[in-house]
Structure 1
Amino acid sequence: MNTKKWMAVLGVLLVFALGLSACQSAPAKPQTVKVATLAGPTGMGMAEMIVGGVDLGENITTEFTVAGAPDQVTAGVISGEFQIAAVPTNLAAVLYNKTEGKIILGAVNTLGVLYIAADESEGITSIADLKGKTIVASGQGSTPEYVLNYLLQKNGLTPGVDVTINYVAEHSEAATLLASGQATIGMIPEPFVTTVTTKNPGVKSVVDMTKAWADANNGSQLEMGCLVVNKEWAVANPKAVEKFMTAYEKSVKSVNENPVEGAKNIVAAGIMTDPALAEKAIPRSNIVFISAKDAKASLNEYYTILASFEPKSIGGNVPGEDFYSFGK
């Protein structure tokens, strides 16, 4: 081959090599990752990320939404508007079933936040002590009712027979009744427990339902809040998912280890309004980071129990193996 032909071949190869190099170094396509969370304990672990931001990679912007009610998040998760969301675990199962597996578990972020609070005069120290008592509670037809009924039965009590349960529409209503003394025993979640015991020092938190669950189930955990991820987006953006989970785990650790700063971030993020109450509620809100793999056994048992009471509470079926296919 003569010199001119060699030069031509080398020129073509050089152009090809430069083009390949340019393709490899081309910046990622810009995208906005939309993340939703509920106010209250479900969102507390995300506070540092909301306030300080999170780096998910080049050309990726993160946009956070804090919602007051689950239905404000549900539609956005189903439509794909939200790529990541912090929701109750039973709602995660509903979303998985409704989308036929397009929503998967990222991590469990909250254990149980339910407590029995009672006036000291009642002498309540355990679930068994509720026999013959009347309690006020919220969450009828949803997870709190099923958890309460299950634990009553595990302790030999029949709901509505051995224990009278007066359900009210809102957690805040149950809290008001306890704080005012109109009710002397109630089951309420954090941060309402902290609010009640602050307003009425005669009322104490007497039964941790998360501990009662572990005692009744040979150490399995009551996993009530989690992160869900859009599966299609996760498959296309594995590095962004990994970065998010790493940042989330760090955020959870930060809020637990430094409640004063954590409370400030929780208020700044719009998750709670009172920093003093937030600081008191943090240690009792069971904020955790448990990967999908590590959460699977307990969560599957939890879903099975919920399904035995009301299949609709988890969307009809216990999620399949693919629900746990992601997680740090």
Structure 2
Amino acid sequence: MKKKRWLAFVGCLLAVVLMSAGCSTKQVEEEPKPEPQTVKIAALSGPTGMGMAEMIAEGVELGEQVEPEWTIATAPDQVTAGIINGDYQIAAVPTNLAATLYNKTEGKVILGAVNTLGTLSIVADKSENINSMADLRGKTVYATGQGSTPEYVLNYLLDKNGLTPGTDVTIEWFGEHSEAAAKLASGEGSIAMLPQPFATATLAKNENLKLAVDMTDAWEKATDGTKLEMGCVVVNKEWAEKNPTIVKKFMEAYKTSVETVNVADERAANDVVEAKIMDNQQMAQKAIPNCSIVFITPSDAKGDLQKYFDVLVSFEPKSVGGKVPGEDFYGLTY
């Protein structure tokens, strides 16, 4: 009799356990999945977008049901409207454009990270004894970027080295980098200011040329050690506040991508081409070490970036949207 009662008790207990397990399974199965979300990301061809190459070419995990959608543009104005309108949640742009977007949207676009230091170089014929900005006294320099940041950086560095543009140094401006490079190739001129990766490509085509001055180094010397922070990633502030986990995942993956690209091996060069940042793998591999690709958080970038903005404002306030960005421009954490 006792045995029958014991078996009945065990049977009831087993039934309860099985029912509980069934309910638990049902509860797990009924947990709702996250809503599908697309994160639209814009990047520029060239150094500003180069650090994203691994993410674009090899993929990036931003979370369950979260998919990145990439746009690669050849000029900032191709993505500016989309950033302002909120069509892009993340974008790689020049830092002065980031400041302009912040001002134009009244703080709705903020800094995500600095991704590029200076990309300007003085390229000269090997016969020229040019090793510093001061050595440009009495010379003629071909350049591009008149009325924009390259001109302001050049003029600032000349001034800090005791030279007055137009008096001590003649600057001849061209609309296209290829025009300035052609002058060097033809022998009509011997010195030019060129951006990367165009400077590297120009050197590769002419063995009589040398990279005479890295203007990022010249800036550091002229400003008591500050970095020339010229490229960055911006984020839509409202979107970032609603999606901190996605922001964190993106920035962690981005930092890793920058490290991978900076190895400058065949894989990195292939990723750069695969991502449509550059179109020549061999040239990409040569250019990467000269493109100053970095990952610097907003708080760490703040001091150097404020110095850069102050210089730009001294030449042309419109270059940063009228004024230096406020403290909240640097407020993103992850």
Shift of 1:263: 0.7
Cα distance in 2 for residues equivalent to 1:117 and 1:280? 16
Cα distance in 2 for residues equivalent to 1:64 and 1:238? 20
Shift of 1:257: 1.7
Contact 1:113/1:210 (<8 A) preserved: yes
Runs (4+) of structure 1 exceeding 3 A deviation are none
3-state SS, counterpart of residue 35 of structure 2: coil
CA spacing shift, 1:258–1:131, aligned 2, 3 Å:
closer
Question: Within the alignment, does 1:141 sit opposite 2:151 as a pair?
Answer: no
Shift of 1:172: 2.7
The amino acid across from 2:63 in the alignment is G
1:274 aligned residue (259, 272, 280): 280
The amino acid across from 2:197 in the alignment is P
Question: Within the alignment, does 1:239 sit opposite 2:233 as a pair?
Answer: no
**Which sections of structure 2, spanning at least 5 residues, go unmatched?**
1-22
**Which sections of structure 1, spanning at least 5 residues, go unmatched?**
1-16
Contact 2:53/2:272 (<8 A) preserved: yes
Cα distance in 2 for residues equivalent to 1:327 and 1:130? 43
State TM-score, norm by structure 2.
0.90
Partner of 1:29: 35
The amino acid across from 1:119 in the alignment is D
Question: Within the alignment, does 1:317 sit opposite 2:330 as a pair?
Answer: no
1:304 aligned residue (298, 302, 310): 310
Partner of 1:13: none
Shift of 1:327: 4.1
The amino acid across from 2:204 in the alignment is T
1:154-303 mapped onto 2 (5 Å cutoff) = 154-303=160-309
CA spacing shift, 1:34–1:289, aligned 2, 3 Å:
same
The amino acid across from 2:256 in the alignment is K
Partner of 2:159: 153
Contact 2:264/2:288 (<8 A) preserved: no
3-state SS, counterpart of residue 122 of structure 1: coil
Q: Percent identity?
A: 61
Contact 2:157/2:218 (<8 A) preserved: yes
Contact 2:264/2:289 (<8 A) preserved: no
Contact 1:157/1:163 (<8 A) preserved: yes
CA spacing shift, 1:123–1:258, aligned 2, 3 Å:
closer
Partner of 1:124: 130
Name the larger-Rg structure: 2
2:83 aligned residue (53, 77, 100): 77
Partner of 2:94: 88
State TM-score, norm by structure 1.
0.92
Cα distance in 1 for residues equivalent to 2:55 and 2:285? 18
Cα distance in 1 for residues equivalent to 2:75 and 2:185? 24
Deviations 1:29-86 (A, max 9, x none): 2111000011001111000001111111111110001001110010110011110000
Partner of 1:10: none
Contact 1:91/1:314 (<8 A) preserved: yes
- Report the aligned-residue RMSD: 1.7
The amino acid across from 1:144 in the alignment is P
The amino acid across from 2:139 in the alignment is K
1:26-105 mapped onto 2 (5 Å cutoff) = 26-105=32-111
3-state SS, counterpart of residue 121 of structure 1: coil
Contact 1:105/1:327 (<8 A) preserved: no
3-state SS, counterpart of residue 79 of structure 2: helix
Contact 2:264/2:285 (<8 A) preserved: no
Shift of 1:170: 1.8
Cα distance in 2 for residues equivalent to 1:316 and 1:215? 27
The amino acid across from 1:142 in the alignment is S
